[in-house]
Homo-oligomer: A and B are copies of this chain.
Amino acid sequence: MTATPTPGDILLDLLVILVAAKAVAEIAERVGLPAVVGEMVAGVLVGPSVLGLVEPGPVLSVLGELGIVLLLLDVGLQLDITHLGSVARPATAMAVAGTVLTLGAGWVAATAVIHAGDTALFLAAAVTATSLGISARVFADLGRLDSPEARTVLGAAVVDDVIGLLTLTVVARVVTGEGLSVGSVAGALALAVGFLVVAGVTGVRLAAPLFRAIERLARSPGTPLALALAFSLGLAALADAAGLAPLIGAFVAGLALARTDQRDRVRRDLTPIGHVLIPVFFLRVGIDADLGQAVRPGALWLAAALLVAAVAGKVLCGLFAVGSSADRLVLGLGMVPRGEVGLVFAGLGLQQGVLNGERYGALLITILLTDLLGPVLLRRRLRRGGGG
């Protein structure tokens, strides 16, 4: 790879990614591991950590971003927003409990290793937020998205992203030395919740008549699909602007499009695009985790301590899903994978000098391991009959 890759280089990168993704997914299928774990491992293998065939870069980021938008769009398309509303209480309780438990356990565990309370608190905050994408993929691959377990985990992960955003706002202002005011936190909260409410309500109301009109007016066969995708990209960009993860916007778009007459056709048309682009996202997780940089002596103890806290905090939070009939262990395991919020914390900490290279590496390893461990345990529990 050269410093400035040509389009031809990127086509080769994509070739490597597609072949690696499918080869490892086929192996994972045979040994009973989730395909998503195979894809992340494939990313570690082809990325700079091991073989160095594919370097991280902006093109890969965008293709992966498109992949995760497609996944959450498809997840939203398979759900009924009213069913999702019925799990609002247990989902919120679980998200709040998971945050508090992980923050506490993470702080204790990290302090025990590094003897620096402030940095330990930063590390604990970094591993509080669950990633919406990874468990969604596990439930989707097993055809279990419409179970109470999946709905509760998805709802809790959305709440988690809002909480993660607030934590990040507070922490970012503290570590960059900007003044922390109630206004700035309330503003971030209002923007995030405002997006969810406004996009949710107007999206769900407007999507059906809008796409009925598009269907009536369109003469070119690709128009409804392209505009459904554009609708999702628009909500993803709005979510991004509101401080949330873009995939939350795509999820809301999916919930809205689920109520249109085009639902089945859009899902059918998106499936092959997803087969190609969704693995790019998960491989990128592995490619970006440059383990050669991350694994340093001393990082491993911290990573192990953080991992125990991160897994325990989330597994236990399942017990707080008040009023839910769901399998509590499935709920907890579904909350284990961490994602973008943690990576944003890691980047911020390194940049502001809160984390040295060793602690930054430990954080990356912890996040990657939750992403590998969560799906493995979740799939095993679901296959053994846990959950609807």
- Mark A residues whose CB is within 8 Å of B: 5, 7-8, 10-12, 14-15, 18-19, 21-22, 25-26, 29-30, 35, 58-59, 61-63, 65-66, 69, 217-223, 225-227, 229-230, 233-234, 236-237, 240-241, 246, 269-270, 272-276, 279
| B26 close to A223 (CB less than 8 A) | yes
**Interface residues of A, dominant DSSP:** helix
Beta-carbon nearest neighbor of A12 in chain B: B237
Cβ-defined contact, B220 with A11, below 8 A: no
When distances are taken between beta carbons in the complex, the residues of chain B under 8 Å from A59 are 58-59, 62
Q: Which of B14, B219, B276 contacts A225 (CB 8 A)?
A: B276
The smallest C-beta distance from A171 to any residue of chain B, in angstroms, reads 21
Among B11, B22, B234, contact of A65 (Cβ-Cβ < 8 Å): B11
CA distance A225 to B276 in the complex (A): 8
Alpha-carbon separation in the docked complex, A55 to B59 (Å): 15
A5 to B272, CA, bound (A): 28
A69 contacts B11, CB within 8 Å?
yes
> Smallest CB–CB gap between A230 and chain B, Å?
4
Of the candidates B7, B18, B65, the one whose C-beta lies within 8 Å of that of A7 is B65
- Supply 30 A–B pairs (Cβ within 8 Å), ascending by A: A5-B58, A8-B240, A8-B246, A11-B62, A11-B66, A11-B69, A11-B237, A11-B240, A11-B246, A12-B234, A14-B66, A14-B230, A15-B230, A15-B234, A15-B237, A18-B230, A18-B233, A19-B230, A26-B220, A26-B223, A35-B220, A59-B59, A221-B275, A222-B274, A222-B275, A226-B276, A229-B276, A272-B272, A273-B273, A273-B276
Q: What residues of B have a CB within 8 angstroms of the CB of A246 in the complex? A: 7-8, 11
User: How many whole Å from A31's CB to the nearest CB in chain B?
Assistant: 12
Least CB distance, A9 to chain B, in whole angstroms: 8
Chain B's closest residue to A241 (CB) is: B8
A16 CB to nearest chain B CB (Å): 8
- Chain B residues whose C-beta falls within 8 Å of the C-beta of A230 in the assembled complex: 14-15, 18-19, 22
Verify B222–A14 contact, CB threshold 8 A. Answer: no
| Cross-chain contact A22 with B237 (CB below 8 angstroms) | no
| Contact partner, A26, options B18, B35, B218, B234, Cβ 8 Å | B218
Shortest A334–chain B CB gap in Å is: 22
